[in-house]
Structure 1
Amino acid sequence: MKRQRSRVRAVLAAVLAAVCVGTAAPGQARAAGPGTYAFDPDATSVQGATANAEASELDEGVAYRSTIRRGEKLYYRVTLDDDSPAYVSAVAVPGDSGPVAYGDGITVSLRDLDDTRCGSQRATFGSGGYARPITAYASRMPKEGSTVCQQGGVYDVLVERESKATSDTAAWDLELRFLKEPRPRSGASLPTEGPESWPSAAPEPPAEKPQKRSGGAGYFEATGLESGQWKDAVEPGQTRFYRVPVDWGQQLHATARLSNSPDGTTEFVGNALTLSLDNPAGGNVADASLSYSGKPTTTSLRSLPPVAYRNRFASSAHVGAMRFAGWYYLSVSLSPELKQAYGGEPIPLELVVQVENDATESPYEEGGGVFGVTDRDKEMAREGQKAADAQEGGAMALVAATGIGLGSVLVLGLGAWTLLARRRAAQAPAAAADSSGPGGHRQPPPGGPPRQGW
């Protein structure tokens, strides 16, 4: 009977917890001050090794957290198959670590055990010279006729940090992820050369009025956006994250507009804002920046080709990064120098996002996973949801499916307790008579406890 009471308590607690989770409004960003970064709460801690033979292995699709100090070269390991394109990304998060210099940043490379480099990417803070989250990735691409990095097996991931002598010595946090791209359809006729040209003219701005949409504090909390004009506000030293689903054949345009200073201050701050775009595998695509003198000012990402399989064969890195469909991540960072001239209050921001063209067929044999766009992704972009909102939604599935509100849940709980009490009363006389077997030993209930079944 004690076991039955415990089961009832557990069920009620789970349902009530789901109801409480569901009361949060979708698309709302958690408060995050300048320098604060929201890591994936399910990320696994892992320590980088200075000797590759001692490196910890990263599993596919799992988020990891690590740290790296100035001048360090840290190894991790992954296992690749013979024919899947593979990507390992690292987000470097200096936080409030102090000053950074021009050229400070990280390099991520993927290498075989003979130290042959398969692919690499370097990310820096650019000419802005202020700390903000930056991301880079390394890849292994199967190539017919090539013998470099083509065999399946164990590979090294090397993350290197470069910081000038004048930069802060505090450790940077790292967020690591290893992904494999699905195989192309068998027998599909796929291109082997990059695009020669694409429409480069910026489209007309959307006619709709700007809508409020608060960005998140990290890639995991990036707020969904669809085509339109969006209003937010960013504090000096803060980075806001957004994500846009871009399907095969679609072309993305993005513009950031920084508002004027309400008090009329006109002090010049160079590289005051950085607009960045990263692809679904965590690779940087393009950056744009602007200077600020208290007047309205605008910056846009360079012209990018429509998402296509052929882009991976382009010689240009920013074209090659537009190689698959999925969530593309926009981030907006404000220089902390703005605080000295304009104070610490958030500055109004407008984002103009335009996704053009109808979606074309996926080149993959099966579903693309993170390298594809689903109807659910489009819905989340329309509603301004984050990845965290999708996970929380799972906890509400039972309640939502039955249309039960909080009051109904409480009524059901009281009913369960009443039923349990009646059963106890009915079973008490029989239990007094039959509870003992030969020799006075109590007999166990038949069947034993029940089996326990993102």
Structure 2
Amino acid sequence: MGRPVLVAALGLGIALMGQPARAAGQDTAPAYAFAEDARRIEGAASTADAVELEPGRTYRSTLPPDAKVLFRLELDDTETAYASATAVPPPGTGVSVADGVKVTVEDADGRSCDADTATFGAPGSPHPVAAWAMREFSPRRSLCAEAGTYYVTVERAGPDARGASPDPWELELSTVSEPGTKTPDGTAAPGAWDSATPAPVQGTARRRPGGAGFAQAAPLGEGVWRDDIRPGQTLFYQVPVDWGRQLHATAELGSSGADASRYVASALTVDLYNPVRGQVGDLSLGYDGGQKSKALKPLPPVAHENRHASGQQVSAVRFAGAYYLVAHLSPEVAEHHGDGPVPLTLRVRLGGTARNAPDYAGGTVPEDVFTVDGGGAASTGGGGAGDETLYRVLAAGGIGTGSALVVGLGVWTVVARRRGAALPE
């Protein structure tokens, strides 16, 4: 067995071991899996006390129900900085459709550079949601272009909304720094692109258990992937999408044999996030116990110039890396169809042709976050050795989960013994 195969098997074994096990008959959805290296910090009530968020680091904090929390960024005059906040309400807490999380980046004079809001939407059930904001260095913008101190504010989107949770929420914060390009690409939005929805990928579905957080998102390549999702559960997957490639995804809920007259609107929601956890698009699927299917709206090929488009769905597809599919099944499904798992199938297609990355004038932080060679979650606490080869194996079609885990464990044991033998006495 050659070295690349060994590394791939080892990487997949480690990735699967990092995901929380879901035993048969499990009654409750697992808690959100925060990044293992997330540093615990407290958000400040005043800019004077704001803790600095360093690019490439992941943090864990708390969001009170009725107040903003502030954090600090120290930026030069050449980089674009992205800050995201994933809000995690306590399981079983009450939330409203309009409730959610809002993230804003402001300059030292209190002027808003960018803001984004993510809400729980039609399901009205507590589950992790993420919002992002940026300080974008661009020739078309004069605001927020200077080097200096900037602030990230995180707050509830609708703290006074009817049914809003009165409990504090957990937060996972991440920051990414993107350099400018050696040759500015101007301010032109991309030209015409193929916006037709292709036929979903066909074939026998392969099992792939979803992760319980961004840091443990299960990697998917092109193909048909199967999992089971319980009412109230949220599953995370990541798809490596290279520059020039076009992601298409379809979600399906399988039939349960339950009473088809009991219809649940927005039973399944699937959110698509880009490599910095910015929302790209979403879909909502009703369920009556019979099979249902829906595709995400078509996305453009990944391109640096997409950032100049006016619509967020296009502008968010501005870099390569790990794109996240986050599936949530409403607890209401249990009221009408029982609390057992519902079959979930994801059909993933990658169109387009891979092309070279932009001629960045420096390095990204974290390194390689905008590549498919181990970027994304792997570079922010969600992976480890072997992710580069693992991504390529998955992109080529994947291998059986059970077999890979067994092989990966075996390889891990052999490697550990060899390393141990090589250590000095």
Query: What TM-score, normalized to structure 1?
Result: 0.78
Which of these residues, 2, 21, 27, is aligned with residue 31 of structure 1? 21
Q: In the alignment, is residue 167 of structure 1 matched against residue 150 of structure 2?
A: no
For residues 26-50 of structure 1, give each alpha carbon's deviation from its aligned partner in whole angstroms, at most 9, with x where no partner exists.
5353136426100001100011111
- Of all paired residues, the percent bearing the same amino acid is 39
Aligned-partner residue type, residue 370 of structure 2 = F
Contact 2:222 2:394 in 1 (8 A): no
SS class of match (1:305): coil
The residue number in structure 2 matching 1:100 is 95
For residues 173-225 of structure 1, give each alpha carbon's deviation from its aligned partner in whole angstroms, at most 9, with x where no partner exists.
110011101331x2x36242212432122223334321111110000000000
Which of these residues, 22, 47, 55, is aligned with residue 50 of structure 2? 55
Identify which range, 221-230 or 32-41, moves more after superposition.
32-41
After TM superposition, list the pairs within 5 Å mapping 1:296-445 onto structure 2. 296-365=291-360, 369-374=368-373, 375-376=388-389, 378-379=391-392, 381-382=394-395, 383=398, 400=415, 404=418
Name the CA shift for 1:398/1:25 in 2 (closer, same or farther; >3 Å): closer
Q: Distance in 2 between matches of 1:246 and 1:23?
A: 18
Q: Distance in 2 between matches of 1:403 and 1:379?
A: 27
For residues 51-98 of structure 1, give each alpha carbon's deviation from its aligned partner in whole angstroms, at most 9, with x where no partner exists.
111111111111100111212211000111111111000001113151
The residue number in structure 1 matching 2:190 is 195
Which of these residues, 217, 242, 246, is aligned with residue 237 of structure 2? 242
RMSD of the TM alignment (CA)? 2.8
Q: Distance in 1 between matches of 2:11 and 2:389?
A: 18
Greater radius of gyration (CA): 1
For residues 321-343 of structure 1, give each alpha carbon's deviation from its aligned partner in whole angstroms, at most 9, with x where no partner exists.
00001000001100011111112
Aligned-partner residue type, residue 176 of structure 1 = L
Q: Distance in 2 between matches of 1:64 and 1:259?
A: 37
Q: In the alignment, is residue 253 of structure 1 matched against residue 253 of structure 2?
A: no
Name the CA shift for 1:385/1:63 in 2 (closer, same or farther; >3 Å): farther
Shift of 1:286: 0.6
The residue number in structure 2 matching 1:86 is 81
SS class of match (1:194): coil
Identify which range, 196-205 or 334-343, moves more after superposition.
196-205
SS class of match (1:128): coil
The residue number in structure 2 matching 1:73 is 68
Contact 1:119 1:139 in 2 (8 A): yes
Query: What TM-score, normalized to structure 2?
Result: 0.83
For residues 203-262 of structure 1, give each alpha carbon's deviation from its aligned partner in whole angstroms, at most 9, with x where no partner exists.
233343211111100000000001101010000000010000111111000110001113
Q: Distance in 2 between matches of 1:23 and 1:191?
A: 41
Aligned-partner residue type, residue 250 of structure 1 = R
Q: Distance in 2 between matches of 1:330 and 1:126?
A: 17
Contact 2:12 2:390 in 1 (8 A): no
The residue number in structure 2 matching 1:113 is 108
Name the CA shift for 1:151/1:22 in 2 (closer, same or farther; >3 Å): closer
Contact 1:35 1:132 in 2 (8 A): no
For residues 354-378 of structure 1, give each alpha carbon's deviation from its aligned partner in whole angstroms, at most 9, with x where no partner exists.
1112211111336661011225363
Shift of 1:141: 1.3
SS class of match (1:39): coil
Which of these residues, 195, 216, 223, is aligned with residue 218 of structure 2? 223
The residue number in structure 1 matching 2:265 is 270
Aligned-partner residue type, residue 123 of structure 1 = A
Q: Which has the higher contact order (CA 8 A, sep 6+)?
A: 2
Aligned-partner residue type, residue 371 of structure 1 = F
Contact 1:223 1:384 in 2 (8 A): no
Q: In the alignment, is residue 290 of structure 1 matched against residue 289 of structure 2?
A: no
Name stretches of at least 5 consecutive residues in structure 2 with no aligned partner.
1-9, 23-27, 374-387
Q: In the alignment, is residue 149 of structure 1 matched against residue 153 of structure 2?
A: no
Aligned residues: 381
Q: Distance in 2 between matches of 1:296 and 1:245?
A: 28
Name the CA shift for 1:201/1:174 in 2 (closer, same or farther; >3 Å): same
Q: Distance in 2 between matches of 1:82 and 1:120?
A: 20
Name the CA shift for 1:287/1:272 in 2 (closer, same or farther; >3 Å): same
Name the CA shift for 1:314/1:137 in 2 (closer, same or farther; >3 Å): same
Shift of 1:127: 1.8
Q: Distance in 1 between matches of 2:45 and 2:326?
A: 31
SS class of match (1:127): coil
SS class of match (1:99): coil
Q: Distance in 2 between matches of 1:23 and 1:241?
A: 16
Name stretches of at least 5 consecutive residues in structure 1 with no aligned partner.
1-20, 421-454
